[in-house]
Structure 1
Amino acid sequence: MTPLDDALTALSGPETPPSRAERAAHLAALMRETRAHADAAVAAIDADFGGRPGPETLLTEVAMVVGATQHARRHLRRWMRPERVVLPPHTWPSTARVERVPLGTVGILGPWNYPLQLALVPLAAALAGGNRAILHPSEHTPRTAELIARIVERAVPDRARCVNGGADVAQAIAAAPLDGLFFTGSTGTGRHVMRAASENLVPVTLELGGKSPALIRADADLDAAAASIMAGKLLNAGQTCVAPDYVLVPRDRLDDLVAALRRATRALYPDPDGPDYAAIARPADRDRLAALTADAHAVPLMDTPPRPPRMGAVALIDPGPDHPAMRDEIFGPVLPVIPYDDPAQARGFINARPCPLALYVYGRDTAAARDEARAIPSGGAVINEAVIHVGIHQLPFGGAGASGMGAYHGQEGFRAFTRPRSIMVARRSLARLVRPPYGKTVDRITRALIG
């Protein structure tokens, strides 16, 4: 038997869904073990990346998992409460309610860019929903994958198993007859995952990437916008699915924005070789990102380029819609800056492309900025800030179209790993009057029902 077969066997079998107290205990155990391994997570991710700031790991990985478990425990009673349903008069005095029930045994396929968070936050949602789970952390962060396996084994050995290995293991999980599948990664890989899951009609939640735009309105405070954009862009050196992927700016403010971007970058990272700036984790990505700057007007945003495996931040000035930097998600510290002549042109530019995972609009007139966001479909939108919405557990997180399917975080995570089930208690009602043999009475009743 393979490790996946062993995990499926260990987690198989019918069961009564765990009680609220049991689910709260599972979440508490996951929180406890994540906290206990916080320093180990900093060390493992730093080693896997070849350089990752400890505060970033604690903030974006450990704190996210702890926050997700705390939020779920705090709201679990309300999430699990059955919803009473008012039935139509002809069914009275019957009663009904809708409850959320676990999917069963689910698979969670995690990525490499936030390896701890994007494996254990979905696990927290799965545990809140009363499920069992099989996790596959990314093979590109092997030390962190081993750590995740240790956390899961110590926290919830009877509820989850971690199956480490290469892409073949992830493919096997995607093709397994599970009750649900959760995947975070690229759009291209997401298509393969969904195709594999469809063979067994496994419901999927896909958290994918996308080219998340930042739209600068004419009335924006450029220095404030630049500081926000670069903080979001250079978090984890741009290896973030919701990082601003390109910027649209009024043409007459292009030069001023580029200058503001340089000031913001220097203020954030006065020493690009220092401990606050993350490395580009994979050699192939360093080569790919370097190639993006080869045939474009590239403006360095740092005074001195850092040494590999780090990469300096660069603005690409109006690279053109067919440039590689405008076709695929960048996932690094390269930022195209595109001038526009009027707001309708900017909206049209964004809307002509696949739906982004996030949209950032900057402007002093927040009402107008909000209207702008409403006119541009996206998974989520933020006015005058970037990335911050991902850390708020009360907000659903997910994409649409090429940027994803379904949502999670907070109650949406609970809903992603459960399904609605109706339970009706039938009592003597008018329904008995429409049974065969049919006649004039049934005819009058049916005609009354349809008006």
Structure 2
Amino acid sequence: MDQIDNIRERLRENRNYHAVGGRYSIEQRRALLRRLLAELQANREKIMAALYIDLHKSEFEASVTEFIPLLEALRFMIRKLPRLAKTRRAAVSPMNFPARGRLVPEPYGVVLVCATWNYPLLLALEPVIGAVAAGNSVVLKLSDKSKATMNLIAELLERVSAFGQVVTVGDEFSFEEILKERFDYIFYTGSEYGGRKVLAAAAPHLTPVTLELGGKSPCIVCADADLAVAAKRIVWGKFTNAGQTCVAPDYLLVHRSVKSRLLDEMRKRVREFYGEKPLENPDYAHIVNRTHYDRLCKLLGDRPAERDPDRLCIAPAIVDEVTPDDPLMAGEIFGPILPVLEFSENEEALDLVRKLPKPLALYCFGGDREMRRRVTEETSSGAVSFNDVVMHFVNPAMPFGGVGNSGMGRYHGKYSFETFTHYKPVMVQSGRIDWPVRYPPFREWQKKLARLLSR
């Protein structure tokens, strides 16, 4: 049996297991998560090496942006799973009396998780944690980029997965081919283009999906912002991982009165963080492959930005005097290029944000209470963060996800469990008391009662 046949056979076994009411116990799920936690800790150095090979991530950056959040997600789920998986009581209406109601959490069945390459460890395994915790069988489609990390993930999951609960798929199936298989749920992280493919593949079977996409996340800097804090946080959030972050600020909207001071402060922070020669800095990441590097260079055109085609590296580029019709504003940049637009009135900034597709995140520095209200209530985005960027992503108490072109669905913390769970309503009606009011023929007293209840 070749590898493709082996994968299909494991898929069939998992489908059949769930089809006949098979369930992984809470302790089986926790045991798998504990084994994964132990394997990650035991292989930390290998993981750091793989992330460096794929994206030139420094050990510190890889630790704080991927490894530590993943460990925290595992510990949270191991600790909270017994409570999350409990049947919940549900109220019943007077029309159901006497009855008892409850919500029974059940897994969807066989779940497809499509991994992405920019944070290959965290964004591959955090959805898997939620899907396993909810009792599903999982097929993890590995990205065809970030190969060193993807191969290591496959090795780790092969060691920890009991009962064939988690199956990894690499080059045996293309992205398009794996979507032809039937799944009970699909979780996809990637581009809007890929998200549309997932929706098209899910439609014939009405398969539910979560799409974690991206978009042009704006960052507004108001006239009263603390420019030193804003510059430091924007530069960090934008140029970490060489801008290859779905929630990184994709463009700046800066009040005209503070623009020159903010840009001076930002350029100072770039030098402070990455030195005079960022391309030689061991803490600065590289572009994932030649295709993405060439795309970014084309976007930059002849604008000044140091580049190294051999190492696929582009220095942080803050591009001033950009207009809304500039090619840099046509789509998500996903690289170390930050266009800067200016505004004179807050309304101008809000108008531009509303004209573009709904972003995954919206950031705002400064602004009075009214401006914060307007940003929150008069725009639509996956999330809003004031006086910081990116950090909302690591808060497990809040869901993470997009809206419109930036995606659908949510996960993180308890929301990861809920995403991969169908809460089945179960109602137990009394067999002894049978109110006659609902049965025909409908007499005058029943009609009077209906009119009374309709007031």
Q: TM-score, normalised by structure 2?
A: 0.92
CA distance in structure 2 between the aligned counterparts of 1:6 and 1:284, rounded to whole angstroms: 35
Q: 1:276 aligns with which of 283, 286, 295?
A: 283
SS in 2 for 1:355: coil
Instruction: Tell me the amino acid that sits aligned with residue 177 of structure 1.
Output: R
2:209 is aligned, of 204, 208, 225, to: 204
Superposed CA RMSD: 2.0
- Say whether residues 1:225 and 2:225 are aligned partners: no
SS at match of 1:337: strand
1:289 aligns with 2:292: no
Secondary structure of 1:315's match? strand
Candidates 98, 115, 119, aligned match of 1:114 = 119
User: Does the 8 Å contact 1:233/1:244 carry over to 2?
Assistant: yes
Q: Are the counterparts in 1 of residues 111 and 184 from structure 2 also a CA contact under 8 Å?
A: yes
Whole-angstrom CA distance in 1 between matches of 2:347 and 2:180 = 44
Equivalent residue, structure 2, for 1:85: 90
Tell me the SS of whatever aligns to 1:232. Answer: helix
Superposed counterparts of 1:431-442, under 5 Å: 431-442=435-446
The code of the aligned residue for 1:119 comes to A
1:421-445 deviation digits (Å, cap 9, x = unpaired):
1111110445444234444454344
Aligned pair partner of 2:41 in 21, 35, 46: 35
The unaligned stretches of length 5 or more in structure 1 are none
Q: Deviations over 1:58-92 (max 9, x none)?
A: 22222222111111122223322333222122322
Q: What is the CA distance between 1:174 and its match in structure 2?
A: 2.3
Q: Which has the higher mean CA deviation after the structures are superposed, 85-94 or 113-122?
A: 85-94
| 423-432 vs 356-365, greater mean Cα deviation | 423-432
- Matching residue within 405, 408, 413 for 2:408: 405
Instruction: Quote the Cα distance in structure 2 between the aligned partners of 1:144 and 1:245.
Output: 26
Bigger Cα displacement from structure 2, 389-398 vs 422-431: 422-431
Residue of structure 2 aligned with 1:312, choices 310, 315, 320 = 315
Count residues with an aligned counterpart: 444
User: How far does the alpha carbon of each residue in 1:207-257 deviate from its partner, in whole angstroms, 9 at most, with x for none?
Assistant: 001101110011011121011001001111100000110001011222112
Change (3 A) 1:211 1:3: farther
Give the whole-Å Cα distance in 2 for the aligned partners of 1:19 and 1:184.
28
Counterparts of 1:3 and 1:383, CA distance in 2 = 50
Distance (whole Å) between structure 2 residues aligned to residue 377 and residue 90 of structure 1: 38
Residue 192 of structure 2 is aligned to residue 191 of structure 1: no
* 1:443 lines up with 2:452 in the alignment: no
Alignment partner for residue 254 of structure 2, among 201, 224, 249?
249
SS of corresponding position for 2:313? coil
Cα distance change of structure 1 residues 26 and 367 upon mapping to structure 2, 3 Å threshold: farther
Partner of 1:171: 176
Matching residue of 1:386: 389
C-alpha distance after superposition, 1:272-297 (max 9, x if no partner): 212100011111111111122226xx
**What is the percentage of aligned positions where both structures have the same residue?**
36
Confirm whether residue 130 of structure 1 aligns to residue 135 of structure 2: yes
Contact 2:7 2:167 in 1 (8 A): no
93-102 or 83-92, which deviates more: 83-92
Q: Write the letter of the residue equivalent to 2:158.
A: E
3-state SS, counterpart of residue 118 of structure 1? helix
Amino acid at match of 1:390: F
Moved more, 18-27 or 137-146: 18-27
Structure 1 371/299 Cα, relative in aligned 2: closer, same or farther at 3 Å?
farther
**Separation in 2 of the partners of 1:429 and 1:176?**
48
The letter of the residue matching 1:282 is N
Q: Which runs of 5+ in 2 are unaligned?
A: none
Task: Evaluate the alpha carbon distance shift between residue 77 and residue 114 of structure 1 in structure 2; reply closer, same or farther with a 3 A threshold.
Answer: same
* Superposed displacement of residue 408, structure 1: 0.4
User: Would the aligned equivalents of 1:90 and 1:431 in 2 still touch at CA under 8 Å?
Assistant: no
Q: TM-score, normalised by structure 1?
A: 0.93
For the residues of structure 1 that align with 2:148 and 2:131, how far apart are their CA atoms? 24
Larger mean Cα displacement after TM superposition, 175-184 or 26-35:
26-35
